[in-house]
Amino acid sequence: MTTRRNFLKKAMMGTALVSVGGVLPGFSAKSYARIVGANDRIRVGAAGVNARGFALANNFCKQKNCEVIYVCDVDKRAIEKSIASIEKITGNAPKPEGDIRKMIEAQDVDAVMIATPDHWHAYAALMAMKAGKDVYLEKPCSYCPEEGEILVKAADKYKRVVAMGTQRRSWPNVIQGINEIKEGAIGNPYFGKAWYTNNRPSIGIEKVTAVPEWLDWDLWQGPAPRVGYKPNFLHYNWHWFWHWGTSESANNGTHMIDLLRWGMGVDYPTKVNSYGGRYRYQDDWETPDTQVINLEFGNNKSMVWEGRSCNGRTIEGSTVGAMFYGEKGSMVITGSDGYIIYDLDNKKVKQVYSKIDIDARNLVDPAKELDGFHIRNFLDGILKGEKLNADILTGHKSTLLMQLGNISHRVGHSLEIDSSNGQILNAPDTKNLWTREYQKGWEVKL
């Protein structure tokens, strides 16, 4: 069956053929250009455009061969803001849609950008794949490990291009730094440390109250069992409630633990444990604001993630980072698109600077220009069959490391892991956390 994606690829190839061998029979150069120009654009529906999704939608609409034709959110205000911004950038206003299910069903949508809260990620991505859409999915790719496994299977079953938003996988200098590690710049990298720090304020203590008129609270909850509305659930604060969020570890930790996993060449761990809690304030925040996750792998390798949401003291002079320790030296990749290599005597032997300013604590758009590389990689994966820098399997493996840490934290003990697939061994008390309870009719099923 000829899909529009295949047609786009053929159209792009046809453009190349015309440039080499002339215009196809029966067409003038001008008429052929009109045909290709009308069909070589990826038409994107953007879901979840209040904060991070607002920035991503703006970035997508600036890309060559891409058009954001829908913006979708359960917050009417977010839709209006996003439409105005995209229209200002492109001169064209995308269509508004309050229900992601209707947007995904639209025949004119080729790909879906998902920047909803975490509990929606897997459900929305799976729904899009079933509808024949390619998917750009913000991290973490899933709320729980079982959902991640389902997404990996779904991408293969439905033959879709699915990328996860670990954008540093596409940053030029970060790629160069990882390649230096793999080429032996610091010898065998046997230990890694990743971190995130911030000074997040208290979210207070709230009571269940009336739902504001601008919000579709039922649809916001989606796959999660229904609860009453509290003002401090939204918008960003949902991260700190286990009912919807995945803690700072999967929120920001996924980025840097992904770098460690990439550079150290590891997949699934053998042991995981986690310590921490909600230490700074006494409020409605449930997940840890202070957490350490230890991960042990085969071949004498291990890594640790340290998260401090409410004490912003930096490590290695940076609010976020990944440090590799090897036999011959060490390398640090901080929040920027750059890295530093040290020898065993702590002498700096090489430094690669970023030419683009980055604010790692910016909740919306910390690295706009650099993120464009990752979006471009996704679009070229659709148009040209280019290999994705962060496909869904890669994304699932890195997400899982943080999910395992959270499971260890919640059950209160260390976990033994099957290093061939990431499954937890000999711990029946973790079974309900490998998956989740769903609102009836909203189950994530392949």
Helix (H, G, I), strand (E, B) or coil at 302: strand
Q: Which helix (H) or strand (E) holds 424?
A: strand 424-425
Q: What is the CATH number of domain 4-168?
A: 3.40.50.720
pLDDT at residue 356, as a whole number:
72
Contact 301, 266 (CB under 8 A): yes
Split at pLDDT 50, 70, 90, the class of 355 is confident
Greatest CA separation found in the chain?
74
Sheet holding 290-297, edge to edge: 348-352, 339-343, 329-334, 320-326, 189-197, 301-308, 290-297, 271-277, 415-417, 424-425
Split at pLDDT 50, 70, 90, the class of 23 is very low
Backbone angles phi, psi at 382, to 5 degrees: -80, -50
Per-residue tokens: 133: 């859409």
Q: Mean pLDDT over all residues of the chain?
A: 91
pLDDT tens-digit map of 131-170: 999 999 999 999 999 999 999 999 999 999 999 999 999 9
Helix (H, G, I), strand (E, B) or coil at 164: strand
Range in 31-45, 49-63, 185-199, 207-221 with the lowest mean pLDDT: 31-45
- Compute CA distances 383 → 73, 184, 323, 341, 393, whole Å: 27, 35, 35, 37, 20
pLDDT beyond 50 at 393? yes
Nearest to 139 by CA among 161, 118, 111, 112: 118
> Strand (E) positions, 125-203?
134-137, 162-164, 189-197
pLDDT beyond 50 at 286? yes
pLDDT beyond 80 at 315? yes
pLDDT tens-digit map of 358-392: 655 554 445 568 899 999 999 999 999 999 999 99
pLDDT at residue 143, as a whole number:
98
- Compute CA distances 130 → 135, 155, 157, whole Å: 11, 9, 9
pLDDT tens-digit map of 171-229: 999 999 999 999 999 999 999 999 999 999 999 999 999 999 999 999 999 999 999 99
pLDDT beyond 90 at 66? yes
Q: How many CB atoms lie under 10 A from the CB of residue 418?
A: 12
Split at pLDDT 50, 70, 90, the class of 29 is very low
Residue carrying the six token digits 């909850």: 221
Backbone angles phi, psi at 266, to 5 degrees: -120, 160
Contact 64, 12 (CB under 8 A): no
Q: Are strands 162-164 and 424-425 parallel, antiparallel or unpaired?
A: unpaired
pLDDT tens-digit map of 254-266: 999 999 999 999 9
Q: What is the mean pLDDT of residues 417-445?
A: 97
pLDDT beyond 80 at 4? no
pLDDT tens-digit map of 84-132: 999 999 999 999 999 999 999 999 999 999 999 999 999 999 999 999 9
Backbone angles phi, psi at 341, to 5 degrees: -110, 135
Class of domain 170-361+397-434: alpha beta
Looking at the chain, which residues constitute the CATH 3.30.360.10 domain(s)? 170-361+397-434
* CA 118 – CA 241 distance, rounded (Å): 11
Looking at the chain, which residues constitute the CATH 3.40.50.720 domain(s)? 4-168
pLDDT beyond 70 at 435? yes
pLDDT beyond 50 at 34? no
DSSP per-residue codes, 311-353 = ----BTTBSEEEEEEESSEEEEEESSS-EEEEETTS-EEEEE-
Q: Are strands 271-277 and 134-137 parallel, antiparallel or unpaired?
A: unpaired
pLDDT at residue 40, as a whole number:
83
* CA 427 – CA 50 distance, rounded (Å): 39
pLDDT at residue 6, as a whole number:
59
First to last CA, the chain: 22
Q: What's at 246, amino acid-wise?
A: T
- Compute CA distances 7 → 24, 364, 374, 378, whole Å: 16, 34, 23, 17
